[in-house]
Amino acid sequence: MSFAGWPARAAAFLVDLAVVGAALLLVRFSGLPDGGLAKLAPWLVIAAHGINRWYFGGRSGQSLGRRLFGIKLVYERGLSPIGALQAFLRDVAHAADTIVFYVGWFFPLWDAKKQTFADKITSTVVVKA
């Protein structure tokens, strides 16, 4: 098993953030008046993120960013995709990566399995696809 390196993981995450950014731009420049349909805007952004990171990321192990960089998210044991709920919970667990001065985000630089704190909490790894 070949674990994905930090540069590929970070770049894939930035692409996934760009998906959210694109959704935000679409909402911003859609011309929706305040109120009415504009109240759906936050839900559209969450849906874009959820479809990319939780549905596709959980189902196949590859969000758009991971697919572009040839990596995938799988269970530590068995190497199978983790499913949408576990992908969502892993994103929630990224709070642990952030809360300790962002150390968890850089943990893959020296960890043997190249895991973040969120990976350790959810028993996941990111491998080369």
Q: What is the pLDDT of residue 99?
A: 96
Indicate the domain borders of the chain: 6-128
119 burial level (CB within 10 Å; 0-12, 13-18, 19+): buried
Q: What is the pLDDT of residue 37?
A: 64
Q: What is the pLDDT of residue 5?
A: 97
Q: How far apart are CA 17 and CA 128, in angstroms?
A: 20
For the residues of 14-45, what is the DSSP string, one character each? HHHHHHHHHHHHHHHTS-PPTTGGGGGHHHHH
Q: What is the pLDDT of residue 65?
A: 98
Q: How far apart are CA 86 and CA 20, in angstroms?
A: 20
127: left (phi over 0), alpha (psi -120 to 50) or beta: beta
Q: What is the pLDDT of residue 35?
A: 64
Digits of tens for pLDDT over the chain (129 positions)? 899 999 999 999 999 999 999 988 887 777 766 666 667 778 888 999 999 999 999 999 999 999 999 999 999 999 999 999 999 999 999 999 999 999 999 999 999 999 999 999 999 999 999
Q: How far apart are CA 1 and CA 125, in angstroms?
A: 10
Q: What is the pLDDT of residue 44?
A: 84
Q: How far apart are CA 106 and CA 7, in angstroms?
A: 10
Q: What is the pLDDT of residue 23?
A: 85
Q: What is the pLDDT of residue 53?
A: 97
